[in-house]
Structure 1
C-alpha cells in the first residue's frame, strides 16, 4: 500500500513539475519578448530621427542613401540571415506548420531574430517604408522556440504564443495580440494552450508597459460617425481599402515567385530603393519609414493628410516589400489606409475627417491580411475608441470581401506557403 502511494506521489510530482516548467517557459518568454519589443521600439524611433536629420542636410541625399541601404540590407540578409526577409510573420506561420525541428529552426532561430532586429532598424535608418511590428512577431516566435527547444511537442503552441506576445507588446494591444494568434497564426482556437498563450501575452504586455509606460499607440480620441450620410463612408472605405489592400497583397506575393528576382536580388533592391526615394521626394518626405508621426498628428488634430500621401505611401510600401529587405507592413499599412481615408473624406464634407481615416485604416489593413477581426480589434485598441466599434467592424468585413475579389488569400498565408514548400 505504501509502495503504491509512493509511486502515485512520484507520478504526481512529475506531472506538477512538468506543468510548472511549461508555465515558466511561457512566462519567461513573454518577459523577454516584451523587453525585446520595447528595445526595438525605442531604437526604431532613434533610427527614424537619424534619417530625418539626414533629410535636414539635403532632401537629395536619399537618392544615394536609400538605394545603397536597400542593396546592403538585402545582401546581408541573403549572406548571413537567410529567412529574415520581409515582415517575418509568414515565417512564423510556416514554422508552426512544419514538423521537422531543423526546418523550424531555419525560420525562427535566434540568429534570424538578431538579423531581423538589426536589419529592420537599418531599413528605417535608410528610409524604407517598413514597420517594426511584424518583425517583433518573428523575433517573439524565435525567442519562444529557443526557450522551448527541449520540448518539440509544445513548439507549435510556443511559436503561437511568441507571435501573439510580439503583437501585444509592439502595439500595447493585448486583446489584438490574442485575436491575431487565433485568427491569423493558427486559424483555430486551441483550448489546451489558450491559458498559456494569454499568460505569455500578459507577461510581454506588462514588461513593455514597465519599460515604455502605458500608452495608446495613436493616442485617445472620441471621433465618431453621427449617422445618416456619415454611414455611407463605411462601404466607400471598405471597397476602396479592400481593393487596394488586395492589390498590394497580390503584387507582393507574385513578386516573390518571379525567377528574375531570385537571379538578381541586389539589382532589384537597388532599383526599389531608388524608386522609394522618388516617392519620398514627391511626397515632401512624408512616406519614408512608418509615417507614424504624420498619421498620429492628423488623427489628433482632425486635419487631412496631403492628397498624394495615400498613393505614394502605397507605392513606397509595395516597393520596400518587393525588394526583400527585412521589415514589417503593419504600420505602413495603417498609414496607407489613413491616407486613403483622408482622400475619401473629401466626399463627406460634414463628417469628421479623423473618423473616416480610421475607417480607411481598418479597411486597408483588413484587405491586406484578410483577417477582419484582427483588423478592427487592433485599430480600436490603438485609438481607445469604442464608439466606432460597429462602423469599424462593418468596414473590416466589407474590405475583406472586396479584397477577395483581387486576391484569394491574405498576404501572410500566401507567403508562408513558400517557406513550407520551397519553390511553390
Structure 2
C-alpha cells in the first residue's frame, strides 16, 4: 500500500527525451506546426489577393461602361471577337481556367497535391485572373467571386508548398470558402458555402484551421476595405401574413428559373445534343456567337453588362426597373457562361434574381419592394447553385436584412425543391465532372 505521508510521484516529468519528442511532434520544425503556419499565412494572403482582384475587376467594369456610353456601337464590334479570342486562348493554353473556378476546386478535392500542378496551379490562376479581367473589359456578364474561389485555393497550395507540407482536401475547401468570405465580406456565407457546395456533404468535418482560414481572410479584407455591406444596409422586412404568401411564390419562381439556367448550362457543357456537339467542334465560332448575343443585348438595353451590381442595388432600394431586365440578364449570363471563357456567375445570378423579384413586385404592389426583390434574389440564387443556406446568409449579410431571415429561409428551401423539378444535378458538381476524366456520366 502507498504511504499516505509520502507525496504522490508526478504523472509527467520533463526529461530531455520527452522534451525532444514534444519538439518533434509540435515544435517549429514539426509538420503540425508548419501546417498551421501554412493555413494561417495562406488565409492572410487570400484576403489580400481577393481585394486586389476585386479592385481590378471593378475598375475594368467601370472602364467598359465608360467606353460603351461614349460609343454605343463599340461593343458590337469589340465583344464578339473578344469572346472568340478569350475562348481560343483559354482552350489552347489554359484549359483549366475556363468557366467559374468553383468546379475546379470541387474537382481538386480528390487529389489536392496533383491539382496544384493543374486545376489550381499558379499558372492557371494567374491566367484565370487576367482572362476574367479581359472578359469584364469586353462586357461579358461575369462575376469575380467564382474565380476568387479558384485563386484562393491556389494561394493555399502555394503556402503549403513553401512550408513543405502536404495539401489536403479540407484546406482546399477552406481556401475556396475564404475566397467567398473575402469577396463579399460575408464570413458566415463562406463557411456555409464550404459545407454545402465545396464539401458536398453536411457530414464534412470542418476543423479549427478551416474556420480560422475563413475568419482571417474575412478580417484581412475588412481591414483593407472597411466594414462595408456589399449592397448597402437595407434592413427590409415583411409582415408575417404577407411573407407566408410571397415567400413560396418567390421560391417557386426563382427555383424554376434557376433550375432552368443550370439545366441549360449543363446541357451545353456536358450534354450530347446538337448544340453541345457543335459547340465542342467549333468552340471559337460558338464563343463568337455568344459574344454577339451579349453585345446585342447590352447595346439594346444598356443594363446587362458585367456583374449587374448597379442594377441589382437599384432594385433593392426600390428604384423602378424595366420588367425585361431579369429575362435579358438571364440570357446574357447564360450566353457568357456557355461561351467557354473564364468568369463566375455569382454576382450575375444575384442580378438576375433581383430581376425576378422586380417582376414579383407587380403582383404585390402594396408590400415592401426591397423585401420582395431580396426574396427573388434568394430564390433564384438557391435555384442556380442549390445551396439554400448559403443563399440566405449571403443575402442577409450583403443587405443587412436580418429581419427577413425566416421568409428568406422559406424561399430558399422552396426554391431548392423547385429547382430539382427542372434539373436534378447540382450545377457546380456537374461542371466539376468535366475536369474529372475518369468520372462516371452525370445523372440527369
Q: What is the TM-score when the length of structure 1 is the normalising length?
A: 0.95
Tell me which residue corresponds to 1:14: 24
The C-alpha deviation readout for 1:258-302, integer Å capped at 9, x for no partner, is: 33222211101100000011111232x1010001011112222x1
Tell me which residue corresponds to 1:338: 354
Distance 1:174 1:72 in 2: 36
Q: Give the structure with higher Rg (CA).
A: 2
Mean CA deviation greater in 63-72 or 166-175: 63-72
Q: Does 1:151 align with 2:161?
A: no
Tell me which residue corresponds to 2:7: none
Tell me which residue corresponds to 2:303: 286
1:24 Cα deviation (Å)? 1.1
Is there any run of 5+ residues in structure 1 with no aligned partner, and where? Answer: none
The C-alpha deviation readout for 1:239-276, integer Å capped at 9, x for no partner, is: 11101111110111111123322221110110000001
Distance 1:75 1:60 in 2: 24
Q: Does 1:274 align with 2:284?
A: no
Q: Indicate if the aligned counterparts of 2:195 and 2:204 stay in contact, CA closer than 8 A.
A: no
Tell me which residue corresponds to 1:390: 406
Compared with structure 1, are the counterparts of its residues 241 and 216 closer, same or farther at alpha carbon in structure 2 (3 Å cutoff)? same
The C-alpha deviation readout for 1:350-383, integer Å capped at 9, x for no partner, is: 0111111000101001001111111111111111
Compared with structure 1, are the counterparts of its residues 220 and 348 closer, same or farther at alpha carbon in structure 2 (3 Å cutoff)? same
Tell me which residue corresponds to 1:114: 126
Higher helix share: 1
SS of 1:347's partner is coil
Compared with structure 1, are the counterparts of its residues 65 and 422 closer, same or farther at alpha carbon in structure 2 (3 Å cutoff)? farther
Compared with structure 1, are the counterparts of its residues 419 and 104 closer, same or farther at alpha carbon in structure 2 (3 Å cutoff)? farther
Q: Does 1:315 align with 2:331?
A: yes
Distance 1:140 1:188 in 2: 21
SS of 2:228's partner is coil
Distance 2:224 2:14 in 1: 51
The C-alpha deviation readout for 1:84-131, integer Å capped at 9, x for no partner, is: 1111000000000236x3355311111111011111111111000000
Distance 1:345 1:105 in 2: 49
Compared with structure 1, are the counterparts of its residues 229 and 46 closer, same or farther at alpha carbon in structure 2 (3 Å cutoff)? same
1:304 Cα deviation (Å)? 2.8
> Over the residues paired in the alignment, what is the CA RMSD in angstroms?
1.9
Distance 2:106 2:290 in 1: 27
1:4 Cα deviation (Å)? 10
Distance 2:261 2:202 in 1: 29
Aligned length: 419
Q: Indicate if the aligned counterparts of 2:87 and 2:284 stay in contact, CA closer than 8 A.
A: yes
SS of 1:107's partner is coil
Aligned with 1:204 (options 207, 214, 217): 217
Distance 2:278 2:126 in 1: 28
Distance 2:137 2:286 in 1: 19
Tell me which residue corresponds to 2:429: 413
Distance 2:71 2:324 in 1: 22
Q: What is the TM-score when the length of structure 2 is the normalising length?
A: 0.91
SS of 2:435's partner is helix
1:331 Cα deviation (Å)? 0.3
1:187 Cα deviation (Å)? 2.7
Tell me which residue corresponds to 1:349: 365
Compared with structure 1, are the counterparts of its residues 189 and 251 closer, same or farther at alpha carbon in structure 2 (3 Å cutoff)? closer
